[in-house]
Amino acid sequence: MLDTPSNRVEDIRLQSFSLTYEFPVAFTRDAFGIGNRCLIDALTRREPDKRHKCAIFVDKGVLSAMPDLAAHIGGYFAAHADKIEMVGSVLPVAGGEICKNNSETVPNLLVTLSKLAIDRHSYTIAVGGGALLDAVGYASAIFHRGVRHIRFPTTVLAQGDSGVGVKNAVNLFGVKNLIGTFAPPWAIINDSAFIGILPPREKRAGMAEAVKVALIRDSNFFGWLENNADALATFSAPHLDRLIKDSAELHMGQIRLGGDPFEAGSARPLDFGHWSAHKLEQLTDHEVSHGEAVAIGIALDTRYSVLTGLLAKGEDDRVLRLLKRLGFVLWDDRLRHRSASGELALLQGLAEFREHLGGELTVTLLADVGRGVEVHEMDPAVVSQCIDWLEQAGLA
Ligand SMILES: NC(=O)c1ccc[n+]([C@@H]2O[C@H](COP(=O)([O-])OP(=O)(O)OC[C@H]3O[C@@H](n4cnc5c(N)ncnc54)[C@H](O)[C@@H]3O)[C@@H](O)[C@H]2O)c1
Ligand SMILES: [Zn+2]
């Protein structure tokens, strides 16, 4: 008998599989010193007897701050020539947000990967700030549908936050991180020697993400930041080292245990203070950097948490005090910028934040120091009061 629409049984089968991701996150110093095993062990961990091809992209900002780096990397590869091969030479790429804004960056990287005949068993290695890692990580994730990728984050922000995550992105149509992928790397190597050469402004900017993750996850870490703010403000190396490790561990814990590593839901639990930060970066044409904008976003959303009764009074002043002691500038006139319709331009950041994930607006606020809480709406009038407060208190 022929199936008729009324008696047809649909043949639906359920496909199901899961994957475990496992990769080393090393904290070391002088990773390209010949005796340092972090990189060689990461490269050879799957096929110890093979010789591995690597394309190495290095942030130009890092190369100019560390002029002997290319020779140092060359020496490392020469010393381990039986196991690893650098294809081409060290490949300089302009770092900073410009590399995510420039629509030529990713196509150029793909051309290079193609010329170097990188295949899915070869490696791309990126040495640089979060922006460079995002761009090279994205190109690596889409080339041949994904080649093995090793990150060497070189800023406080990238070592403690973005570099230990599982995503990448570049900016498009003026929208930050509009295209990108979730692509866990093959390995992450955090080398403290890169932090030593980082300009003070960049060292400070990265601390904002540590304050952020302490506020939403770990009151003890927040207490440690308060107790050591003076040493951190003068960039004491052992203190920065500890800040990076604790921050990285908290970010990694969220990805490992949070139940949504590829952010399929509507929440962005690690993005406290970020809805306004991303907008402020855009409003200032990235004159205010990501970390600096996050410090301002943290202050605004902490105040919002207090004004809406979620967080005890006085905790906003406490957070502001720490950010100031760390040396952050907590005001920018463009926070008051109005669109043609007269609306606060910053508020557009809420819509963009929601659009990025889809679903319901989900913003993380604070229920306590060390405890984030999700809300699904923000009152524009209260946001406006927070801006007033920040202008007064932030400039005081
Ligand atoms: N993928 C993610 O999950 C994620 C998460 C958070 C942030 N990010 C992204 O990270 C980017 C910010 O990264 P960032 O704060 O590391 O800054 P950055 O990559 O923009 O680098 C800032 C500047 O420092 C230079 N530089 C980098 N390392 C240096 C060093 N050791 N010595 C001297 N100069 C150095 C760079 O050339 C650049 O000019 C943003 O684009 C942000 O969106 C990504
Ligand atoms: Zn951030």
> Ligand 1, residues 202, 212, 254, 357: which to mutate, most atoms within 8 A of Cβ?
202
Residues 37 and 79 in one domain: yes
Decide if pLDDT at 52 tops 80: yes
> Ligand 1, residues 32, 151, 157: which to mutate, most atoms within 8 A of Cβ?
157
Decide if pLDDT at 356 tops 80: no
- How many distinct structural domains can be found in the chain? 2
Q: Is 137 in the pocket of ligand 1 (CB under 6 A)?
A: no
Residues 162 and 218 in one domain: no
Three-class SS state of 103: coil
Decide if pLDDT at 394 tops 80: no
**Across the chain, how many H-helices and E-strands are there?**
17, 11
CA distances from 36 to 91, 181, 257, 359 (A): 22, 31, 31, 46
Residue 294, domain extent:
200-395
Task: State pLDDT tens for residues 135-171.
Answer: 999 999 999 999 999 999 999 999 999 899 999 999 9
DSSP label at residue 231: H
Residues 204 and 139 in one domain: no
- Whether 9 maps to a domain, the answer reads no
- Whether 14 maps to a domain, the answer reads no
Task: From 142, 171, 196, give the residue that closes a domain.
Answer: 196
Instruction: Check residue 342 and give its pLDDT.
Output: 87
Question: Is the Cα dihedral 308, 246, 198, 171 positive or negative?
Answer: negative
Cα–ligand 2 centroid distance for 156 (angstroms): 12
Residues 280 and 178 in one domain: no
Residues 335 and 368 in one domain: yes
Residues 159 and 221 in one domain: no
Task: State pLDDT tens for residues 180-208.
Answer: 999 999 999 999 999 999 999 999 999 99
By the 8 A CB rule, do 167 and 180 touch?
yes
Q: How far apart are the C-alpha atoms of 200 and 108, rounded to whole Å? A: 31
Task: State pLDDT tens for residues 63-104.
Answer: 999 999 999 999 999 999 999 999 999 999 999 999 999 999
Task: State pLDDT tens for residues 100-137.
Answer: 999 999 999 999 999 999 999 999 999 999 999 999 99
Cα–ligand 1 centroid distance for 157 (angstroms): 7
Residues 70 and 106 in one domain: yes
- Whether 12 maps to a domain, the answer reads no
Q: What is the CATH number of the domain that holds 98?
A: 3.40.50.1970
**CA geometry: angle 189, 195, 197, nearest 5 deg:** 130
- Whether 2 maps to a domain, the answer reads no
Q: How far apart are the C-alpha atoms of 389 and 296, rounded to whole Å? A: 12
Residue nearest to ligand 1 atom 10, measured at CA: 130
Residue nearest to ligand 1 atom 3, measured at CA: 162
Which phi and psi (to 5°) does residue 65 adopt? -80, -20
Residue nearest to ligand 1 atom 44, measured at CA: 162
